[in-house]
Structure 1
Amino acid sequence: MAARRADGSTPLPSEALLQGRRTIEISHNGAVYRLQATKLGKLILTK
């Protein structure tokens, strides 16, 4: 479990978003973004 930040928020693990997938699409303010996990364990967010 991640520790709370000073503002009271708790970071959400990337696994909770990706749920075993390498790529997901996120809708935000009418635009679609793609969140992709790389083979090296990095995250890429593109519009």
Structure 2
Amino acid sequence: MINKIHIPIPPTDFELHTQQEAMPVSRPRIHSAELFGSAREVLIEHGGEEYRLRLTRQDKLILTK
């Protein structure tokens, strides 16, 4: 008689990606009024770089480096 041993095999990247998409993700939500206040533009520092987030006349957001 042969004993079967179960060896768990880690999921592939594709399987992990699919599992992560299926799980609900809690993301922080920030209202744009909290970022802008009365301004139409804010500067965001990220990774040692400076980005500019602007609010257009049509109330759209534009992020530039």
TM-score (norm: length of structure 2):
0.59
Which protein is richer in strand relative to its size? 1
Which protein is richer in helix relative to its size? 2
The count of residues paired between Structure 1 and Structure 2 equals 42
Structure 1 gap ranges (5+):
1-5
Rg bigger for which structure? Answer: 2
* % identical aligned pairs: 38
TM-score (norm: length of structure 1):
0.78
Greater relative contact order (Cα < 8 A, sep 6+): 1
RMSD: 1.0
Structure 2 gap ranges (5+):
1-23
